[in-house]
Structure 1
């Protein structure tokens, strides 16, 4: 493996776990990248940011930090190890600015089908977990995947604490000082394409549009990998 290559850190979002990156990981490893995909606790934006910072502390050398969906908010939170991060890649993801939350950004633009009719809330000893109703998973999250794949993803959801979606980003967002790329998914019914384009333009991200659902790491891994490699190769 070439020493000059950064480690690729893939951070999953809400309603999925690190397995959402399986095909992306396989393709990156074939190109001799070291790839790590931590499991986010998804208990809150600030606690998830602290968790990711502690994970990055275990890695030697530079990294390209990739976030899908809700994880875009996590990688946008100003990391204590900002000097380690070569680039940020947002994959159908939130790119909040100071004092913005994922929930507010998703409601600012029309087109999302995440809402009271499609979401389920489960009380837990520490809060309330948010799930996507099984019967809604295909339409809202993974419209370009097979019924068999959707059934597995819906059954293995990793929930997010509902308050995490309302926590606002504190301090200056990381994308102000770190080069960023954005995979914008044009058939997305979870985060509206208009919201993705707005956030990417504001962050001056290099944009790559893909005709895909929110589950783009699964349905179009090659396009996601191309964007990550482009970010990793930039100087």
Structure 2
């Protein structure tokens, strides 16, 4: 593969800054990196947004998804022909007819439960946050104290309808090579769910003892997996 642009797509509850340490390592190695911001309002609109964004970029592209963004990039309609590979970082690998909500409930262990969430109205819908006092345990237990506080304070909320979205076509990972970083201490998407999804997708898997915030806590591991997707 010619030297690609790495497109780093954040998931729910954090924005593109979750990639800052991974981005620095990729850029220091001489690679082009861009990290768009998903609206997180409707699944279909996130798919359309990412497709439109990717259409502005020359290829080749390696698309990297964290958390909910894995559902988005699994939808073939979200990608352009310039995409050559996918990397799922503690992410959903959704298939036709599935939803992120159902996949997250397939195995026990997720702490994304009602008692840990706050729902606030916004014009046109509702949006979900983690309770600040629960953020560390659910999302970033192994992050530094400053990171945990900053992440909890600067959450990017999601409309819960995004987790109920599905698509009809066979997932993109059926035809594109994929890699998966599995966080074994994840309390948001259970590790067993991550393993199951990566296994059926035939992804090249790297496991790391980390929380859902693996891109911040283990940026070297994540960057190495992304670089490996260029081979």
TM-score of the pair, normalised by structure 2: 0.98
- Following superposition, the deviation at residue 204 of structure 1 comes to 0.4
Listed as ranges, the matches of 1:51-200 within 5 Å are 51-79=49-77, 81-200=79-198
Distance 1:44 1:92 in 2: 21
Partner of 1:37 in structure 2?
Answer: 35
Distance 1:22 1:212 in 2: 17
Total equivalences in the alignment: 231
Describe the superposition over 1:21-50 as per-residue Cα deviations: whole angstroms up to 9, x where unpaired.
000000000111100000110111111010
Distance 1:117 1:194 in 2: 23
Q: CA RMSD in A?
A: 1.1
Structure 1: tracts of 5 or more residues without a match: none
CA contact (8 A) 1:96 1:169 kept: no
Structure 2: tracts of 5 or more residues without a match: none
Describe the superposition over 1:149-198 as per-residue Cα deviations: whole angstroms up to 9, x where unpaired.
10110000001111001112331110000000000000000000000000
CA contact (8 A) 2:54 2:80 kept: no
146-155 vs 88-97, greater mean Cα deviation: 146-155
Distance 2:52 2:117 in 1: 31
Listed as ranges, the matches of 1:210-221 within 5 Å are 210-221=208-219
CA contact (8 A) 2:95 2:171 kept: yes
Task: Give the match's secondary structure for 1:100.
Answer: coil
CA contact (8 A) 1:106 1:112 kept: yes
